[in-house]
Structure formats: C-alpha cells, structure tokens
Structure 1
Amino acid sequence: MTDLAFGDRHSRAVLGLGLNAEPKIVRIYAGKLAGSISRQHLLVCLINLIARLHGSVKAIQLQAEDHLVVALPHIRGKILAFEAMASLAVWVNGGRIPVCPLGDVADIVIDISAGHQHDADLYAWGSGWKSWVGSTPASFVRVEDRRDCLGPYFAAALVAGELFKRSKGLIKGRFAENEAHSLWSGASGDWDLLPDGPRVDGGSIPDCYLIGAGAVGQGVVNVLGASNLARAYAVTVDHDHHDKEGTNLNRCFLAGVGDIDKPKVDVVRRYREISGLAGFEFHGTLNDYLVAEKADLAQRLLEKEQRDVYELVISAVDINQSRQDIQGLRPRIVVGGSTDGLRAQSVWYGLDEKAECLGCWNQPDNSKARAMAVEAELRAMTEDQQRQRLVGNVNDLDAALAFLNDPEPRCGRLGEADIRAFASSVSPEFSVSFVSMASAVMTAARVLTLGLSGEQTKLRRSKSIFHFRSLKCDDATTALRQACPHCG
C-alpha cells in the first residue's frame, strides 16, 4: 500500500471546525435491502463518501443483507450488499478504510434501516427528491417504493457531513437534530410538509455538455447514471488527470486507486458503460473540443455544433477563465455547480434575463499580478523562512534560494524557473467529499427539473446554497453585472 496523501485537501483548515481530526470507527445498520431501492442508493453513496474521509474515519462496520441492484461506481452485476461495499472501499482507498463485519466497539452508530431497532447516534433516510437526517428515529412514514437516487444521495452527503463535523470538532454551527430537505423546492423543514418532485426513473433530460470531470462533474454523472433515465446524452469535456499523489481521490466519486494518473474522462466513460448512460467523452480543453474531429459524437449534436448551438451546458469547473469560456459559447441554459469550504452551490443561468450569467461575477484572476505578489512576499522573508516555505515545492532548492537572495537577479539565472513556477501555482483549497456530492446532486436536480417540469423552473430562484455547518439552505437570485461582456 503506497503512501498517498488522500487526506490532504479535507485536512486543511476550514471555518467553523477544529484543525485536527479524531479518526472514528463507524457502524452502519442498513437492514434488509431487497425491495428498497432508496436504501440501496443511500448505502452505496454513503460508503463511497466516507471511504474517502481519510483521517476522519478509521473503519466501517456494516450490517447489510440481500443483493444490490443499483448502479455501483466500480463494478456491474447483482452482488451481495456487504461484499459489494467491502470491494467498493478497497477500490476507493486500497484498504486504508476497510468495510468489515460488526465489532465490539464503535465511535459513531448510524441507522438507515427501516425498523428503528438500533440505538444510534444518527438516523437517515432519502426518498424521491427529499432527504432527512436526525439524532432520533424518524417520526414520519417511510415509503420505500421510489427508485430515484436524488434524495438518498443528498441524505448520504448529510450523514457524511455529520461524521466529519464530529471528527473535526464543531466550533461554530450545529449538529443535526431533525433535518429534512427538498431538492424539488429547495426548502428545509418538516418532512411531511415538504413537497416531493415527480418520479425520475424512466424520465428524460435534454442533451447536455458537462465541462469539468472533477469532483462535482463526476458526481453529476454518478447521479444521472444512477437515475435510470429513459433518455439522456452527456458530452463530458476535461483535460486533466487524477493527480499522482492521490489527493483527487478524496472526492472524485467515480475514481479509485487504480485511476491515479489517468484521465478523468476515462472514469466517466467506465461508469457510463456500467450504468447505461449514453454520452461521449473528450480528453482536452473546451477550446480543443471546439476544433476537434468527433466522429463518435451523436449526429444531432454535430449538426447543432456546426451552427454554434449549445442548448444546455453544465459547468463543473473551478477556474474563472474556464467559466468565461463556457459562457462564450452562448448556451441557451447553463447549470453551474461549485463548492466553497462547507458550502455547496448550484445555479441556473439563462432562465431569468435579469439574473447573472456564468461570466458576470466569475471574472478571470490576474495571475501575473498574483505571481509578482507571491515573489515579493518570498523576497521579504529571511532565508530560513524561504527554505521552510519552498522545501519540497521546487526542483532545486539551493538555486531557488540563490535567485531570491540575489540583489540584482538576472533573467535566465538558475533557480528563476523554479521560483516563477512556484509563484504562479495556486494552492489547493479545502475540499471534501460530501460537499462536492451535495453540489453535484443539487446541480443534477436542476438539470432533471429542466427535463421534467418547465413550470417548476419558474417557481425556483436562480441559486441554491446549502451550508453544512448550520444545515441551512438559502435560495437567491443575483443580478447581472452591467459591465459583463456576455450579458451586461
């Protein structure tokens, strides 16, 4: 087992939680899963999420009976639930967080079964478009005949969030007590009073372009593939690989240890084949895609692209210049998904002419000015401080230090390239599995709403933000920027 930094991104500081995690042994009671597709979705997504929480979860004890029939991210076929989840964890993390039978000791107990027979710390349920997590058993009647994954997947994200908060320690915010949320309306409140959406299983969505196959992008494909849609076609575009250090694996839901250093679009293609979702993958940038030959792309999309028609685009990128490139296509509708610390966000663009477009407030960074500021900061440090900051981050540490401390640095001097590369790099920010999955589910829910109910799109505000610290959801509409080159 190699020494990969799986926990690097979610071990970083984030507002409201402690700095150091205390690893937990987690026990999950799933019960008899035959006849409950909702609980199968909830279990599969929950194991996929918490098997990536390195440093916060030590081991997963699981009680689960019967076969799984829902789509799994790594293998196809009807498989016994326990064996499937044990293999999923090994595939995800190489055995670092194992799924094992029930033991004598557990730090946190989770009950997602229907019987309420266990004394648990957390209870959870998801069905249709609704999700619930609580500290006591549910008081509402749980209907198990829905096959949709939206509510169960969001419930899994809520549970994983509660585990993470307990592991890190909560400084500001609150723990779950009795929290229900509707992805159909965007509202939180009492389960019985929240509106549910139409059945997704067997439904249709418009052809869509997914730009970005990282955490949110893979989560969107995961949801669409697990939804068993009658008609869907997703074109996925991404130029990146899963990094060699393995830090992408803490939140890229369709990737396991065997996918390190491989293109992100490859795992999307694999999951499409497992789940039956139709589509096309392109390994390259959006600008590369626009000029490339695409012989295997659906003919109807080739014909539209010849006329520069892009009707529905899903933005799952985290760089503002990429968002500008997407808006530059002039799509009819854009659905954006993103994360910020412990906040998950999804946005409709193009449905309200008075609301922001994707390019309005996502202005490109001035990378040259930022790099100059970083270099100036380095030069102001002592040599010991410089050494501490640069060690492990440059190829030739001594040459880099000599370049920094030369009173008259010359272009082309040894060490210059190392310093320029370091100053231009962007330090990865906090990012964790359950926030990315929540954003993906919220984004997929908006895409599904477009296909299932035009009337509902008129009732929702453009933007939804879910706060994991406070378990609160905000819906809002942001005005366009008058100076925006795309819509202002």
Structure 2
Amino acid sequence: MPIAIEGASPLPFGPYVAACLVVAETFLAARLPRHIPYPAASYGWDAWSQQHGNAPDTTAPDTCAGLDLTGTSLAGVGAVGTTWVQTLWAVPGLRGIVELVDDDREGVTKTNLNRCPLFGSMSLGKPKAQEAARISAVSSITWKPQLGRFQDSPGQPTLLISAVDTNRAREALQNQYVPRILSASTSDLRAEALRGGPPSVGACLRCHNPPEPLIADDTLRERAIAAGTETLDALANELAVERHVIEEALNRPACGEVGDRLLAALRRDHSAPEPRFAVGFTSAFAGTLLAAETIKLLLEAPMSADNPQHNNVTFQFLRPRSPINETRELGADPSCPACASTNPGSAVWHNRIQRL
C-alpha cells in the first residue's frame, strides 16, 4: 500500500496519487485476485520527480502561490481533463486565465459520471467545458469555457494541454503548433504524460499515433438517413436550413456549401472512439500527472531532474513497482509528417518556441 506522509504542504498531488493507488489495489484485489503479484512492501509515486518513492522529493516546492497560468488552454474536458481542472483548482494561490475547450455536443452523459470527478447527476446534458468552469468557479483561476474545437478557437495560447482521446484529434491539435505542449492519455490500466517537442527531436502529439481511418462519406450519409426523422431535424436545425434541404443533400450529394457543412457535422458526430475498457483511477492518475507537469513546466523544472532530456512518463497499475513505471526520452517518430524537418509547420513551431 502507498505510504501516507504528513507534511505542511497544501498541494494536492500527493493525496490524489495516493488515492488512485489505493483504489487500484482494491480494484485488482477484487477483479484479478489470482493473477496479480501483490507488492511485498509499501510503495509510492512522487509527482515532482515522476518516479517511485516512499518519501517526498525534498527539492519539490511547498507552494505554487502566485504562479500565473494565463496563456494555458485545455483541449478535451473529459475524464483526464476534468481531473486536471480539479487538481489545479485545489492548488492554493494559482492565478490567471485558463481556456477550457471541448466540442462534445452531447455534453455530460451518464457514462462520464464514473470517470469525470467534477461531474454529478446535475451536470447531465450540459456542455463539459462550461460545466467544469461553473463547478470550479470559486477559484483564484479564471476559467474561460468554449464549446467547439480547439483549432477553431480565436485564442493564441502559449501552453496547450491535450486531454483528447483520439489520434485524429491529437493530430489536429499538433497542427496548431502551440509553443509548449503537454499531453496525457490512458490505455486500459496504463497512464502516460508527454512533454511535446522540440521539433524533430522529442515526440509531438502526432508522433507514434497514426490517425484512425476515416469513415467514407457515403457511409456517413447512409447512417444519417437510417437514423430517422429526429436526426434529420436536428441536422436541419444545426445547419439552419429546411429538412428537405438536408434530405436532398443526403440522397443526391453534390458539391455545395450545405453539403460540405453537413458532412462536417456528420463526421464530427461519428468520430467518437469505439467503446473500450476504462476505469476512473487510471484517468485520475493521468490527469494528476498532467497537472503536476503543467506546474513544473511553468516553473521551468524538468520532468526528471536526474535526466533533464526525459519527456515521457508512464505508469501501469498491474505491477506498480515495475521498472516500466518511469520517465524516459521519447524521440520524434521518423515517419511523422507533423514535425518532420521538411514540414514548414516545424519551422513555425521552432520559431514560436524561440520567441517564447
């Protein structure tokens, strides 16, 4: 079990990490009692040094009061993103303006309630970014929510926090070439955080993440027709046209402004990832690591003091004391088109980093 150490620091990272480890041990004991080797001794994880530890890193700050987050934008206010919001909300004295951007038109659903720590039953149906900002409003941080895609937002942040859950979304974020990029993601019982770049050296959001295949346009149209009149009415209302215009565009597709907007809406509504195994403690751990790296980056601290070039950290819960749980240097993907030296965007990214 993790060690609980009392101290004067009011920072939430240690308690949040400890809670995730305890819940994970409970989950594994209940679901996989015969397949998981139990730790022979106590263990812990330090979010400042991003490594195993049974005692806090003495170089870590006790307070972050006065640290300005202005220029930071969060893309994706789901399980990982809401934990990031809640963790920063719990850090005393942080200030500044932070954008929360999410384009999920359904808003908060019942499936979000078991993994998004901010949301409760009163949040159902409400836009995620707006609801997260409302719940976290009593804060020294000013939250600015937006319903839509990050790439369509008017702001020009200097730090992008990626908490999206598809590779296509990550590619779209990377193509904005924000100077500083942090990302967190989960897969089964594995959490990961990444500091993006520098261009062609460290991995970017697109590196090692091939985009999911696109659904054919004809398939999208067929699905919309099969969905029935309520779907057609909703599309007509969204595009501000009569329903017969939607029906004509679906049955006799042709180039045109309505047809293009219709396909964009259909692609957005069918771009969600396939349902997969997910548990709340993994997302909460990833969001906590992401929040810690946000603070560290703004304080100009490396991910790992022992290895300043390290830009990636992973933690899997099946064997928490495994040496796999560590920081490492994750290089750029040689086949990545987004940060290749031949891509003009890489030069833009590099120049923005230098100016910052």
Answer whether TM exceeds 0.5 for this pair: yes
- In structure 1, give the amino acid aligned to 2:23: A
Specify the alignment match of 1:283 in structure 2: 147
**Among candidates 267, 278, 282, match of residue 435 of structure 1:** 282
Task: Trace 1:411-422 onto structure 2 (pairs within 5 A).
Answer: none
Aligned counterparts of 1:424 and 1:440: Cα–Cα separation in 2: 23
Specify the alignment match of 1:337 in structure 2: 184
- In structure 1, give the amino acid aligned to 2:67: S
Specify the alignment match of 1:479 in structure 2: 331
**Among candidates 63, 67, 71, match of residue 200 of structure 1:** 63
Q: Secondary structure at the match of 2:118?
A: coil
Aligned counterparts of 1:208 and 1:281: Cα–Cα separation in 2: 12
- In structure 2, give the amino acid aligned to 1:470: R
Specify the alignment match of 1:240 in structure 2: 104
Q: Secondary structure at the match of 2:134?
A: helix
Task: Trace 1:15-414 onto structure 2 (pairs within 5 A).
Answer: 124-125=3-4, 142-176=5-39, 177-191=41-55, 194-206=57-69, 207-240=71-104, 246-290=110-154, 305=156, 310-351=157-198, 354-368=201-215
Aligned counterparts of 1:155 and 1:273: Cα–Cα separation in 2: 26
Asked whether the 8 Å contact 1:182–1:196 carries over to 2, the reply is no
Q: State the 1:336 CA deviation.
A: 0.2
Identity of aligned residues (%): 27
Q: State the 1:288 CA deviation.
A: 3.2
Aligned counterparts of 1:210 and 1:350: Cα–Cα separation in 2: 18
Asked whether the 8 Å contact 1:203–1:452 carries over to 2, the reply is no
Aligned counterparts of 1:483 and 1:476: Cα–Cα separation in 2: 20
Going from structure 1 to structure 2, the CA distance change for 1:200 and 1:362 (only over 3 Å counts) comes to farther
Aligned counterparts of 1:242 and 1:172: Cα–Cα separation in 2: 38
- In structure 2, give the amino acid aligned to 1:235: E
Specify the alignment match of 1:467 in structure 2: 316
Going from structure 1 to structure 2, the CA distance change for 1:485 and 1:326 (only over 3 Å counts) comes to same
Q: Secondary structure at the match of 1:346?
A: strand
Aligned counterparts of 2:18 and 2:92: Cα–Cα separation in 1: 19
- In structure 1, give the amino acid aligned to 2:197: G
Asked whether the 8 Å contact 1:205–1:447 carries over to 2, the reply is no
- In structure 2, give the amino acid aligned to 1:276: S
- Given the two structures, how large is their TM-score scaled by the length of structure 1? 0.54
- In structure 1, give the amino acid aligned to 2:135: Y
- Structure 2's unaligned 5+ residue stretches are 220-225, 229-249, 252-266, 341-356
Residue-by-residue CA offset, 1:423-480 (whole Å, 9 max, x unaligned): 9874311111110010001111111001224466672611100111101412222221
Q: Secondary structure at the match of 1:465?
A: strand
Going from structure 1 to structure 2, the CA distance change for 1:179 and 1:464 (only over 3 Å counts) comes to same
Going from structure 1 to structure 2, the CA distance change for 1:145 and 1:190 (only over 3 Å counts) comes to closer
- In structure 2, give the amino acid aligned to 1:427: E
Aligned counterparts of 1:171 and 1:332: Cα–Cα separation in 2: 47
Q: State the 1:159 CA deviation.
A: 0.9
Higher relative contact order (CA 8 A, sep 6+): 2
- C-alpha root-mean-square deviation of aligned residues, in Å? 3.1
Aligned counterparts of 2:3 and 2:201: Cα–Cα separation in 1: 39
Q: State the 1:200 CA deviation.
A: 3.2
Going from structure 1 to structure 2, the CA distance change for 1:215 and 1:231 (only over 3 Å counts) comes to same
Q: State the 1:183 CA deviation.
A: 1.2
Aligned counterparts of 2:142 and 2:112: Cα–Cα separation in 1: 25
Going from structure 1 to structure 2, the CA distance change for 1:352 and 1:244 (only over 3 Å counts) comes to closer
Q: State the 1:202 CA deviation.
A: 0.8
Q: State the 1:267 CA deviation.
A: 2.1
- In structure 2, give the amino acid aligned to 1:481: D
Going from structure 1 to structure 2, the CA distance change for 1:228 and 1:245 (only over 3 Å counts) comes to closer
